[in-house]
Amino acid sequence: MKKRTLQSIVRFLLRTLTDTTYYGLENIPATGGVILALNHLSYFDTPLLLVNPAREDITALVTTKYQDKALLGWFVRTAEGIWIDRDIADFSAIREASKALKKGVALGIAPEGTRSKTGGLQVAKPGTIMLAVKTGVPVVPVGITGSEKALGELLRFRRPKMTVHFGEPFVVPEVEPGTRSKALQEWTEKLMRKIAALLPNNYRGIYADPES
Protein backbone atom coordinates (compact mmCIF):
# COMPACT_ATOMS: atom_id res chain seq x y z
CA MET A 1 0.00 0.00 0.00
CA LYS A 2 1.21 3.50 -0.81
CA LYS A 3 1.33 6.35 1.72
CA ARG A 4 -1.34 8.40 -0.08
CA THR A 5 -3.70 5.40 -0.07
CA LEU A 6 -3.13 4.97 3.66
CA GLN A 7 -3.84 8.67 4.22
CA SER A 8 -7.10 8.39 2.29
CA ILE A 9 -8.21 5.40 4.37
CA VAL A 10 -7.30 7.05 7.68
CA ARG A 11 -9.01 10.27 6.64
CA PHE A 12 -12.20 8.36 5.79
CA LEU A 13 -12.15 6.43 9.07
CA LEU A 14 -11.60 9.55 11.17
CA ARG A 15 -14.37 11.41 9.36
CA THR A 16 -16.76 8.46 9.69
CA LEU A 17 -16.00 7.13 13.16
CA THR A 18 -14.82 10.18 15.08
CA ASP A 19 -15.60 13.84 15.63
CA THR A 20 -12.20 15.31 14.83
CA THR A 21 -11.56 19.03 14.37
CA TYR A 22 -8.39 20.82 13.30
CA TYR A 23 -7.73 24.41 14.37
CA GLY A 24 -5.03 26.88 13.29
CA LEU A 25 -4.20 25.18 9.99
CA GLU A 26 -3.13 28.57 8.66
CA ASN A 27 -0.18 28.39 11.05
CA ILE A 28 1.40 25.49 9.16
CA PRO A 29 3.73 26.76 6.40
CA ALA A 30 2.39 25.59 3.03
CA THR A 31 5.81 24.43 1.86
CA GLY A 32 9.28 23.82 3.22
CA GLY A 33 10.62 21.90 6.16
CA VAL A 34 8.77 22.39 9.42
CA ILE A 35 8.69 20.64 12.78
CA LEU A 36 5.25 19.93 14.25
CA ALA A 37 5.89 19.48 17.99
CA LEU A 38 2.97 17.78 19.73
CA ASN A 39 1.90 16.48 23.11
CA HIS A 40 1.74 12.68 23.03
CA LEU A 41 -1.35 10.95 24.40
CA SER A 42 -2.03 7.80 22.37
CA TYR A 43 -1.47 5.72 19.25
CA PHE A 44 -3.98 7.99 17.51
CA ASP A 45 -1.66 11.02 17.56
CA THR A 46 0.43 10.00 14.55
CA PRO A 47 -2.63 9.22 12.36
CA LEU A 48 -4.13 12.58 13.34
CA LEU A 49 -1.01 14.37 12.11
CA LEU A 50 -0.72 12.15 9.03
CA VAL A 51 -4.07 13.35 7.65
CA ASN A 52 -3.92 17.00 8.68
CA PRO A 53 -5.64 19.06 5.94
CA ALA A 54 -2.67 21.42 5.43
CA ARG A 55 0.31 19.18 4.61
CA GLU A 56 0.20 15.74 3.01
CA ASP A 57 4.00 15.63 2.78
CA ILE A 58 4.43 14.73 6.42
CA THR A 59 6.34 12.10 8.33
CA ALA A 60 7.10 11.57 12.01
CA LEU A 61 9.69 10.26 14.42
CA VAL A 62 8.35 7.06 15.99
CA THR A 63 9.90 4.93 18.72
CA THR A 64 11.48 1.63 17.67
CA LYS A 65 9.44 -0.07 20.42
CA TYR A 66 6.58 -0.23 17.90
CA GLN A 67 8.60 -2.02 15.23
CA ASP A 68 7.66 -5.48 16.49
CA LYS A 69 3.95 -4.70 16.85
CA ALA A 70 2.43 -6.04 13.63
CA LEU A 71 -0.21 -3.39 12.90
CA LEU A 72 1.69 -0.43 14.31
CA GLY A 73 4.91 -1.43 12.58
CA TRP A 74 3.13 -1.80 9.25
CA PHE A 75 1.38 1.56 9.70
CA VAL A 76 4.59 3.45 10.46
CA ARG A 77 6.47 1.88 7.56
CA THR A 78 3.63 2.62 5.14
CA ALA A 79 3.40 6.18 6.44
CA GLU A 80 7.16 6.52 5.80
CA GLY A 81 7.85 7.25 9.45
CA ILE A 82 11.38 7.56 10.83
CA TRP A 83 12.27 5.08 13.56
CA ILE A 84 14.16 6.42 16.58
CA ASP A 85 15.56 4.50 19.55
CA ARG A 86 14.53 6.62 22.55
CA ASP A 87 16.88 4.70 24.87
CA ILE A 88 20.09 5.91 23.21
CA ALA A 89 21.45 8.94 21.41
CA ASP A 90 20.13 7.79 18.03
CA PHE A 91 22.24 9.90 15.67
CA SER A 92 21.15 7.85 12.66
CA ALA A 93 17.52 8.87 13.22
CA ILE A 94 18.52 12.50 13.76
CA ARG A 95 20.46 12.49 10.48
CA GLU A 96 17.48 11.00 8.64
CA ALA A 97 15.11 13.55 10.23
CA SER A 98 17.47 16.40 9.31
CA LYS A 99 17.66 15.15 5.74
CA ALA A 100 13.85 15.03 5.49
CA LEU A 101 13.49 18.56 6.86
CA LYS A 102 16.11 19.94 4.49
CA LYS A 103 14.19 18.34 1.62
CA GLY A 104 11.17 20.40 2.68
CA VAL A 105 9.12 17.75 4.47
CA ALA A 106 6.90 18.38 7.53
CA LEU A 107 8.03 16.32 10.52
CA GLY A 108 5.98 15.42 13.59
CA ILE A 109 7.86 15.04 16.89
CA ALA A 110 6.74 14.49 20.48
CA PRO A 111 9.27 16.41 22.64
CA GLU A 112 8.26 14.35 25.70
CA GLY A 113 9.56 11.24 23.96
CA THR A 114 6.82 8.93 25.23
CA ARG A 115 3.07 8.84 25.75
CA SER A 116 1.70 10.53 28.85
CA LYS A 117 -0.06 8.06 31.17
CA THR A 118 -1.92 10.88 32.94
CA GLY A 119 -2.90 12.99 29.94
CA GLY A 120 -0.83 15.89 31.27
CA LEU A 121 2.40 17.21 29.76
CA GLN A 122 5.60 15.58 31.02
CA VAL A 123 9.19 16.78 31.15
CA ALA A 124 10.40 17.30 27.60
CA LYS A 125 13.78 16.38 26.13
CA PRO A 126 15.86 18.95 24.18
CA GLY A 127 16.05 16.86 20.99
CA THR A 128 13.28 18.75 19.17
CA ILE A 129 14.93 22.12 19.72
CA MET A 130 18.33 20.66 18.86
CA LEU A 131 16.93 19.49 15.52
CA ALA A 132 15.35 22.92 14.93
CA VAL A 133 18.69 24.63 15.54
CA LYS A 134 20.51 22.14 13.34
CA THR A 135 18.16 22.58 10.37
CA GLY A 136 16.93 26.17 10.82
CA VAL A 137 13.32 25.19 10.09
CA PRO A 138 10.36 26.73 11.96
CA VAL A 139 8.62 24.91 14.79
CA VAL A 140 4.84 24.74 15.09
CA PRO A 141 3.51 23.81 18.55
CA VAL A 142 0.61 21.33 18.43
CA GLY A 143 -1.91 20.59 21.17
CA ILE A 144 -4.00 17.40 20.89
CA THR A 145 -6.98 16.56 23.09
CA GLY A 146 -9.26 13.53 23.27
CA SER A 147 -7.00 10.98 21.57
CA GLU A 148 -6.23 9.24 24.87
CA LYS A 149 -9.92 8.28 25.18
CA ALA A 150 -10.56 7.47 21.53
CA LEU A 151 -9.96 3.71 21.56
CA GLY A 152 -12.13 3.19 24.63
CA GLU A 153 -14.90 5.25 23.13
CA LEU A 154 -14.80 3.33 19.86
CA LEU A 155 -14.94 0.01 21.70
CA ARG A 156 -18.12 1.25 23.38
CA PHE A 157 -19.53 2.19 19.97
CA ARG A 158 -19.27 5.89 20.74
CA ARG A 159 -17.91 8.59 18.46
CA PRO A 160 -14.83 10.06 20.19
CA LYS A 161 -14.23 13.79 20.01
CA MET A 162 -10.65 14.79 19.21
CA THR A 163 -9.13 18.19 18.55
CA VAL A 164 -5.80 19.23 17.06
CA HIS A 165 -4.68 22.84 17.64
CA PHE A 166 -1.75 24.25 15.64
CA GLY A 167 -0.08 27.28 17.20
CA GLU A 168 1.96 30.04 15.59
CA PRO A 169 5.31 28.97 14.13
CA PHE A 170 8.57 30.25 15.55
CA VAL A 171 12.23 29.94 14.65
CA VAL A 172 14.89 29.10 17.21
CA PRO A 173 17.88 31.46 16.81
CA GLU A 174 21.43 30.23 16.45
CA VAL A 175 22.98 29.19 19.72
CA GLU A 176 25.95 31.22 20.95
CA PRO A 177 29.15 29.25 21.62
CA GLY A 178 29.38 28.10 25.23
CA THR A 179 25.64 28.48 25.88
CA ARG A 180 24.34 25.44 23.98
CA SER A 181 23.06 23.35 26.89
CA LYS A 182 21.38 26.29 28.62
CA ALA A 183 19.85 27.61 25.38
CA LEU A 184 18.44 24.22 24.38
CA GLN A 185 16.85 23.84 27.81
CA GLU A 186 15.38 27.36 27.76
CA TRP A 187 13.89 26.93 24.30
CA THR A 188 12.54 23.49 25.18
CA GLU A 189 10.76 25.11 28.12
CA LYS A 190 9.37 27.82 25.83
CA LEU A 191 8.18 25.23 23.32
CA MET A 192 6.35 23.20 25.96
CA ARG A 193 4.64 26.27 27.35
CA LYS A 194 3.51 27.17 23.85
CA ILE A 195 2.03 23.67 23.52
CA ALA A 196 0.43 24.02 26.96
CA ALA A 197 -1.19 27.28 25.87
CA LEU A 198 -3.09 25.32 23.21
CA LEU A 199 -4.48 22.84 25.75
CA PRO A 200 -7.16 22.87 28.48
CA ASN A 201 -5.86 23.09 32.07
CA ASN A 202 -6.17 19.36 32.74
CA TYR A 203 -3.77 18.56 29.88
CA ARG A 204 -1.01 20.99 30.86
CA GLY A 205 0.69 18.81 33.44
CA ILE A 206 3.96 20.22 34.73
CA TYR A 207 3.68 23.13 32.28
CA ALA A 208 0.47 24.38 33.89
CA ASP A 209 1.50 28.03 33.63
CA PRO A 210 1.63 28.44 29.82
CA GLU A 211 2.74 31.49 27.91
CA SER A 212 0.03 34.10 27.48
pLDDT greater than 80 at residue 56: yes
Number of structural domains the chain divides into: 1
Q: pLDDT grade, residue 70 (50/70/90)?
A: confident
By the 8 A CB rule, do 144 and 23 touch?
A: no
Within-domain flag for 35? yes
d(C-alpha 123, C-alpha 100), whole Å = 26
Question: Which helix or strand (DSSP H or E) is residue 62 part of?
Answer: strand 58-63
Within-domain flag for 106? yes
By the 8 A CB rule, do 140 and 169 touch?
A: yes
pLDDT greater than 90 at residue 90: no
Within-domain flag for 212? no
CA distances from 4 to 35, 47, 50, 57, 103 (A): 20, 13, 10, 9, 19
25: domain CATH number? 3.40.1130.10
Average pLDDT, the chain: 94
Within-domain flag for 211? no
d(C-alpha 150, C-alpha 183), whole Å = 37
Within-domain flag for 8? yes
d(C-alpha 152, C-alpha 158), whole Å = 9
For residue range 160-202, list pLDDT tens digits in order. Answer: 999 999 999 999 998 888 788 899 999 999 999 999 999 999 9
DSSP state of 116: -
**Residue 135 is part of which domain span?**
3-206
For residue range 111-145, list pLDDT tens digits in order. Answer: 998 999 999 999 999 999 999 999 999 999 999 99
Is residue 133 classed as helix, strand or coil in its secondary structure? helix
